[in-house]
Structure 1
Amino acid sequence: MSITGSEARTQHELSATREPAEGPPATAGRGTFASLRIRNYRLFFSGQIVSNTGTWMQRIAQDWLVFELSGYNPVALGVAVALQFTPTLLLSLWAGVLADRVDKRKLLIAIQTGNFVVAGVLGALDVTGLVQLWHVYALAFGLGALSAMEVPTRQSFVAEMVGPRQVPNAVALNSSVFNMARIVGPAVAGFAIVLVGTGWLFVANAVSTLAVIAGLALMRPEELFSAPVVARAKGQLREGLRYVRGHRELLTVLVLVFFVSTFGITFFTSLAIVAANVFDTRADGYGLLSTMLAVGTFTGALAAARRGSRRAPSVRVLLLSAFALGAIETVAAFMPSYVAFAVALVPLGFATITFLNTANALVQTSVAQRMRGRVMGLYVLVLIGGNPIGGPMTGWLAGTLGGRSPFYIGGLAAVAAAVGCALVLRRARRAPLPPEVKLG
């Protein structure tokens, strides 16, 4: 599993096409919160604190609403997940092309406005008692379409806010906010659902998107490390795919992300199934499990932020964290009690966020600036695009083999993917480097 002796060559291949950033000089400095010295990023960061809390409240509420409307059917929950993530298969690559062509900040404002509308409509239907299962399915698909456009744009916009030297730290801080919200959001949602129902949580999420829109609107465009806008031309999507294919280490990282995220990181869906069908708890029990997982991810994100301010992202860390994720997930599946299972979610969350942060930073810091949107579109596709497979698979496994099965099967799949990619990388390093791909 361990890769030794060629780490420098790996980093050379992954950084072979880096280009100097345009814009003002990057703010120097180390420390866990180094990126927050940059005003534009502080505005973005502040909006994300509010918005991500609302997003996690909506995710918990949506899962529970589907569960209630379907008579606690795990397959229905899998269908909702598939509908929400299917647009990623259709749109994320084109979203990456669009992100390279337009002003990313303005595009993000438009997308967040759409999120406000979708969350508000679902909240209104639920609060008035008119909501039906097909409404949730349709709006989940709409939210998925917006997310397919937003994620690659936001991911590639990070480098424009902070500059190339602060990307690993900023990526980790983004995850810290995301996972702090994952602690607060599910904890609040679990109890709020019992007290006031799911509808007001959707309304709260709609309001929270206004914080992101405000932060984006208040930014100073002249202080961004703006990538050059790519003129519209034929073949730009194929150009991005050729770019990735021509860099085998980058391609292997993307393959690993696909298999681990599709088959290993399914517990965000299966937690509701385990809470209700294995341990017979209500929404508050589900919220507590989500919170325990988030404690691990939040801790891991802070560790990644500190690591990102000191050293470049490492392929070794990526492989080891993928292996650890799978091993811990497999062990967690066989925990005999609710408390033991909840405790096991903490190290699982730590390994998961270490893997995701490392993969994100590794891709962002190794890609040419003019290609960042397209490569991040492909990254989002492999990260999220497998959910239409993983979501129904999780529901089917839980219904056929029991609520624990998505954990041990997904864990073993992640271990196999980590070992397989490690062997591929070891073999690749022994072969001559391919000629640089010319993308004229």
Structure 2
Amino acid sequence: MDASTPGASGPVSVPRRFAALRNRDSRPYLFTSGLSMMADNTEHVITYWVLWQTFHSPALVGFQIISHWLPFLLLSVWTGTLAEKYDCRRLIQAAQGLFMLVSAVWGVLFLTHSLTVWAACILLVLHGTAGSIWGPAEQLMLHDFVERHELPSAVRLNATFQSLGILFGPVVGSALLLWLGPTGGIFVNVLLYLPMTVLMFRTKFTGHTRDAVVEGRPRVGFRDTLRVLRGIRSNHLIIAMIIISGLTAVTIGNALQSSMPAFAARLGAGSSGDLTYGVLLFAMGFGGVVGGFLLEATGVIRPTLRAAVLSTIVFGAAILGFALTANYALAIVALVLAGAGEIASLSITQSVVQLEAPAGERGRTLGVYGMFASGLRTGGGVTLGVLGAAVGVISAVGWFAAVLVVGAFAAWWFAMRRPRRSEVTA
């Protein structure tokens, strides 16, 4: 098998541009997925603002990050197993229902002025749990909607539409806070999860149309995670994708957003700091969205080992450039380029894992991928705090970016060390 074409067997069909958007089944899925991701981020804007105004607790701010990503670290393999065995439509509805329940309970607590730290912690954990349930199931649905050779298009466009949700979530959240207040805004946010929930009643796809549902009930736990890892360790390509995504998560994953105020101050934010800060945050999200659509329109990048490594290097190098420059214009350009590199790296690594994963263990393999790609973001705040305290936040981000570039090269070298019977070329 050629590493340039994961999972290739026989002639390779050339996918159409925007194949997933041309597909009448996957098109509404992409839009509703982006809308749900926007609701996710809108909820963060509203609830984080209320929590800070109510408690002024730095510890709670740290817990907000931990609670969002820790469920991915602990539950991803389990939820991947559920996605393998059960109808993914129902799992997605369960996740969306939990999202809606959490938003509604936030609204009740705001309305009755009965919000407590413990109640907030429980809701934050439940919100993160909903995300971990959603992840593997929504990826398996993509595998169901389109033909194998069009799967990279579906993964890339799904990531792009979710990036749109992440980009506009803060805008919508801020608007709802301004117009309706936190109580009215959070109740309106409940409605944003409904389109995907309703769509799951209307689609005929289950996440298993192309693959048989796993028979039996495999045990799920830490040992099962190790078993899945042992099962895929001979596929150096999947392991390389997991290394790249995990390294991204633990280095730059959370570091950039939380450290952006320091960069804004260095770039001259004064009385107009809010504008400077907002533009910096917007720039990287904008780069991700534009980059995703450009990659899909041009078709210049395929899901290969080389493409995954190079896009990760572009991402890390752009962040390193951003950390080194004191010029505002160059900083914006670097962030836009970083956003494009990040979405390319994310979509390529996800596509390769989907294409290479054994059909009977695709959900659990995606679960392991999610455990590293999302779960390791739990430790991102720790690594930033420790290194930031030693060398400064801005320097720490620069070091993280350099480590990511070196790590991408290391993953490339590792993937090329396949057993001779399945020797590959880059």
Superposition map of 1:273-422 within 5 A: 273-274=261-262, 279=269, 286-306=277-297, 312-336=302-326, 341-395=331-385, 397-398=387-388, 401-422=391-412
Superposition map of 1:57-76 within 5 A: 57-69=42-54, 71=56, 73=58, 76=60
Cα distance, 1:269 vs. partner?
3.7
Identical pairs, percent: 22
Contact 1:43 1:216 survives alignment (8 Å): no
Aligned to 2:24: 39
Contact 1:173 1:301 survives alignment (8 Å): yes
1:15 matched to 2:3? The reply is no
SS of the equivalent of 1:313 reads coil
Cα distance, 1:242 vs. partner?
3.0
SS of the equivalent of 1:336 reads coil
Contact 1:190 1:284 survives alignment (8 Å): no
In structure 2, do the counterparts of structure 1 residues 376 and 207 end up closer, same or farther at CA, with 3 Å as the change threshold? same
In structure 2, do the counterparts of structure 1 residues 168 and 36 end up closer, same or farther at CA, with 3 Å as the change threshold? same
Cα distance, 1:94 vs. partner?
0.9
Cα distance, 1:359 vs. partner?
0.5
Distance 1:342 1:134 in 2: 39
Cα distance, 1:423 vs. partner?
2.9
Distance 1:194 1:406 in 2: 35
Alignment root-mean-square deviation, CA:
3.2
Unaligned runs of 5+ in 2: none
Contact 1:78 1:392 survives alignment (8 Å): no
Contact 2:41 2:165 survives alignment (8 Å): yes
Cα distance, 1:398 vs. partner?
5.0
Cα distance, 1:294 vs. partner?
1.1
Per-residue CA deviation, residues 305-350 of structure 1 (Å, 9 max, x unaligned), is: 2356x77411111111111211111221234366654443211111
TM-score, normalization: structure 2?
A: 0.85
1:137 matched to 2:121? The reply is yes
2:193 to 193, 199, 209: 209
Cα distance, 1:49 vs. partner?
3.5
Distance 2:403 2:166 in 1: 25
Give the stretch that moved more between structures: 171-180 or 57-66: 57-66
Per-residue CA deviation, residues 174-195 of structure 1 (Å, 9 max, x unaligned), is: 1221122233222343455456
In structure 2, do the counterparts of structure 1 residues 38 and 395 end up closer, same or farther at CA, with 3 Å as the change threshold? same
Cα distance, 1:418 vs. partner?
1.2
SS of the equivalent of 2:115 reads coil
Distance 1:223 1:95 in 2: 14
Distance 1:374 1:138 in 2: 27
Q: Counterpart amino acid of 2:296?
A: A
TM-score, normalization: structure 1?
A: 0.83
1:220 to 157, 180, 204: 204
Superposition map of 1:232-251 within 5 A: 232-234=216-218, 237=224, 240-251=228-239
Aligned to 1:22: none
Per-residue CA deviation, residues 141-191 of structure 1 (Å, 9 max, x unaligned), is: 111111111101111221012232221111111122112223322234345
Per-residue CA deviation, residues 407-438 of structure 1 (Å, 9 max, x unaligned), is: 21321221121122233334x15x52479xxx
Contact 2:98 2:126 survives alignment (8 Å): no
Contact 1:51 1:205 survives alignment (8 Å): no
1:181 to 152, 165, 168: 165
1:82 matched to 2:66? The reply is yes
SS of the equivalent of 1:225 reads coil
Q: Counterpart amino acid of 2:285?
A: A
In structure 2, do the counterparts of structure 1 residues 234 and 373 end up closer, same or farther at CA, with 3 Å as the change threshold? closer
In structure 2, do the counterparts of structure 1 residues 110 and 192 end up closer, same or farther at CA, with 3 Å as the change threshold? closer
Unaligned runs of 5+ in 1: 1-7, 20-27, 436-440
1:154 matched to 2:157? The reply is no
Distance 2:26 2:235 in 1: 30
Contact 1:271 1:286 survives alignment (8 Å): no
